[in-house]
Amino acid sequence: MMVFKFFSKIKYRCLIGLLGCIVLFVTGCGTADEAIVLIPPGESVAEFPELESAEQAAETRVVEPQTVYVYVCGAVRTPGVVEVPEGSRAAEALELAGGMTTEADPFYVNLAEIVTDGQKLYFPTASEAEELEAAGKAAEEGLVNINTASAEELCTLPGIGASRAADIVRYREKNGAFQTKEDIMKVSGIKQNAYDKLCDRITVQ
């Protein structure tokens, strides 16, 4: 009876092997993870050492974490490129750069943001953050900052041509930034009438 059972198991395994070959032939060659394995009813993987070792290898396979490089600069103690695991937050990159200085605006950068490889994290001072926010607001509203605009940008203002735009640039280079919008009338050739046409389109922030 034991001999019959032994030979029956051999026949069953041969049949399973044949079926496996047919499946591979029909579906095409794939990886070890994609192979279809048939185990006789009532038997465990332990009775098939070759399958057990493959299962153990799959369980012990470890995926190495990827790293990303981020340039942390601005109002930080040790600016430079830091290396952090993929999926890290801005707070972790900042910590590796020594943290913020006392002049930094602690709320400008979203520290919960997930950083990406090659990203530049700039931490502005409180005064810089004010200027950046004002500039962003002005851009959204379509305003031209007469303290920073190029001659080409100044030419988009009503009544301002190439010659007058060059005068504005020369004036601020010589006298410094305009303190108020009305100061633009200190530029030769820009009087009240000209100012009235462009006052709603300019800013000094």
Residue 137 lies in a domain: no
Please give the DSSP secondary-structure letter assigned to residue 71.
E
**Percent of the chain residues topping a pLDDT of 70:** 68
pLDDT for the residue 46: 56
Q: Which residue has the higher pLDDT, 192 or 7?
A: 192
Cα(89)–Cα(113) distance, rounded to whole angstroms? Answer: 5
Q: Tell me how far apart the alpha carbons of residues 185 and 130 are, in angstroms, rounded to a whole number.
A: 26
Residues 77 and 47 in one domain: no
Comparing 123 with 137, which gets the higher pLDDT? Answer: 123
Provide the CA 8 distance to its chain's centre, in angstroms. Answer: 62
Radius of gyration (C-alpha) of the chain in whole angstroms: 36
Which letter does DSSP use for residue 89 in this model? B
pLDDT at 102 over 90: yes
pLDDT 10s digits, 47-79: 555 555 555 655 556 666 799 999 999 999 999
The single residue listed with the structure tokens 């009305």 is 182
Instruction: Assess whether 20 and 53 both reside in one domain.
Output: yes
For range 112-127, the mean pLDDT: 95
Least confident of 1-5, 56-60, 76-80, 168-172: 1-5
- pLDDT surpasses 70 at 167: yes
Tell which residue, 142, 160, 117, 115, has the closest CA to residue 201.
142
* 168-173: average pLDDT: 93
The terminus-to-terminus CA distance of the chain in angstroms comes to 97
* Predicted pLDDT of residue 187: 93
Number of domain units in the chain? 3
Other CB atoms within 10 Å distance of the CB of residue 150: 10
Do 152 and 197 reside in the same domain of the chain? yes
Q: Which residue has the tokens 């050739």?
A: 189
- pLDDT score, position 161: 92
Domain for residue 161, yes or no? yes
Full residue range of the structural domain in which residue 47 is found:
2-60
Average pLDDT, the chain: 80
Does residue 135 form part of some domain? no
Residues contacting 18, CB < 8 A, separation 6+ = none
Last residue of a domain, one of 45, 60, 75: 60
- Is there a contact between 101 and 121 (Cβ–Cβ < 8 Å)? no
pLDDT at 134: 79
Phi first, then psi: give them for residue 171, nearest 5 degrees: -60, -50
- Residue 134 inside a domain? The answer is no
CA distances from 198 to 69, 157, 183, 185, 202 (A): 46, 6, 13, 11, 7
